[in-house]
Amino acid sequence: MNISTSCIHGPEDKNLKNGGLVTPIFTSSAWDYRQESPTPYPRYFNTPNHNQLADKLARLEKAEAGLVLSSGMAAITTILFGLLQKGDHAVFQGDLYGGTTDAVMHELEKFGINYSFAKGHEISDFEKCLKPETRLIYFESPSNPLLNCVDIKGLVKLARSKKLLTVIDNTFASPVNQNPVAMGVDVVMHSATKYLGGHSDLCAGAILTSKGIMERLHTTAIHFGGSPDAQACYLLDRSIKTLFLRVQQQNQNAMALAQYLEGLKMVKKVYYPGLPSHPHHAIASTQMAGYGGMLSFELEGDLEGFLNQLEIISPAISLGGVESTICSPALTSHARISAAERHAAGIRDNLLRLSVGIEDIEDLKKDIEGAIRI
């Protein structure tokens, strides 16, 4: 099946008894232990809603096994604590999602796990961080907010030559635009709160990997207890039915807006992997089916005035919804790091990050044009 079909026709647990086409919401936390083995229990991630959704997501990411969790961070911490042990060392990309960086810096050392952050996005930047105790490389492509991309196959090659595991946060790309398992990555995670959910109304996470690795991670996940409830599973499954359509439209809109913004006098720089001017355009073109719905740009003049004048695009954190949202990384996601560190990472104070929705492209252009003129 192609991905557009798999989004809709997963391994549904249809309401066979009554003939309904949609998986019912199984709210039971108590199940008859004489019927099914293992007996379903919500925190074991094995209710019918969990199983059906995990199988669907595994198919979308071309992985053997899937696990759906209560948030993206639940997925990330389950992966790190499931795969790393006392005395191990892990290498992380320098510009990860802020919550991931915080978790690495505040949680790993107290369990005797050491880490390094790579200083750039070349394979050699990761290679320089390797030690004899290194077990894992964790990265994000495209990353937030400058949409930096890593050569996935190149990094997998390095990791395999040293017998290291690779983990990617594939949230920004979504399974529609990038399938890292097919490129040899061992573990893929998503904040399903973003594109998979797509309507800014749920919080969930996902892990997609091999059966062998999933056995270890499933046990850790049960210990940490970050399982999603049946309502969230239902809503996520329903949302994924339109994932392909939504992301196609977001890819198109973001490309058109990136080109439009590049032509505006008040816009100094646009960061979008689909533009030939982006430093990682070439590698993005080889590994992504579409360039995604996220872009950033530097705007001259009064940022606050611009944001206040927008009528369609909403200033908001989070991303990946059907509605276009915009935020200033310096004031939101990257507010806690110093201005000097932000500037060193290439994040200027006048940078705006746009999560492009599925609205009409001409309306989005008019919204920006009207707000810039004011």
Question: Which positions are catalytic?
Answer: 43, 97, 169, 194
- The correct pick among 26, 45, 81, 97 for binding ligand PLP (CB under 6 A) is 97
Closest residue to ligand PLP using C-beta atoms? 72
Cα 345 from Cα 276, distance rounded (Å): 21
Q: Note whether 186 binds ligand PLP by CB under 6 A.
A: no
Contact flag: residue 171 with ligand PLP (CB under 6 A): yes
End-to-end Cα spacing for the chain: 49
Task: Please pick, from the candidates 47, 148, 191, 296, the single residue that binds ligand PLP as defined by CB under 6 A.
Answer: 191
Q: Does 180 help bind ligand PLP (rule: CB under 6 A)?
A: no
> Of the two residues 140 and 186, which places its CB atom closer to ligand PLP in the complex?
140
Tell me how far, at minimum, the Cβ of 292 lies from ligand PLP, in Å. 11
Q: Is 227 in the site for ligand PLP (CB under 6 A)?
A: no
Q: Are 80 and 225 in contact (CB under 8 A)?
A: no
User: CB 144 → ligand PLP: shortest distance, Å?
Assistant: 6
Taking CB under 6 A as the rule, which mask of x and - marks residues 99-138 in contact with ligand PLP? xx--------------------------------------
Closest CB 316 distance from ligand PLP, rounded Å: 13
User: Does 77 interact with ligand PLP (rule: CB under 6 A)?
Assistant: no
**Which residues, at least 6 apart from 28, have a Cβ–Cβ distance to it below 8 Å?**
40, 47
Cis preceding-peptide flag for 279 (omega within 30 of 0): no
| Residue range at the interface with ligand PLP (CB under 6 A); choices 47-55, 166-174, 321-329, 361-369 | 166-174
Contact string 139-158 vs ligand PLP (x = CB under 6 A): -x---x--------------
Tell me: does residue 72 bind ligand PLP (CB under 6 A).
yes
Restricting to residues 252-291, name those near ligand PLP by CB under 6 A.
none
Contact call for residue 193 and ligand PLP (CB under 6 A): yes
Nearer to ligand PLP by Cβ, of 71 and 296: the residue is: 71
Q: How far is the CB of 22 from ligand PLP (least distance, A)?
A: 24
Stretch touching ligand PLP by CB under 6 A, among 22-30, 65-73, 304-312, 344-352: 65-73
* Nearest distance, CB of residue 50 and ligand PLP, angstroms: 17
Instruction: Say how far apart CA 1 and CA 16 lie, in whole Å.
Output: 23
Q: Rounded to whole angstroms, how far apart are CA atoms 348 and 145?
A: 11
Which is nearer to ligand PLP, 13 or 280 (by Cβ)? Answer: 280
Q: Which chain residues interact with ligand PLP by CB under 6 A?
A: 71-73, 97, 99-100, 140, 144, 169, 171-172, 191, 193-194, 203, 205
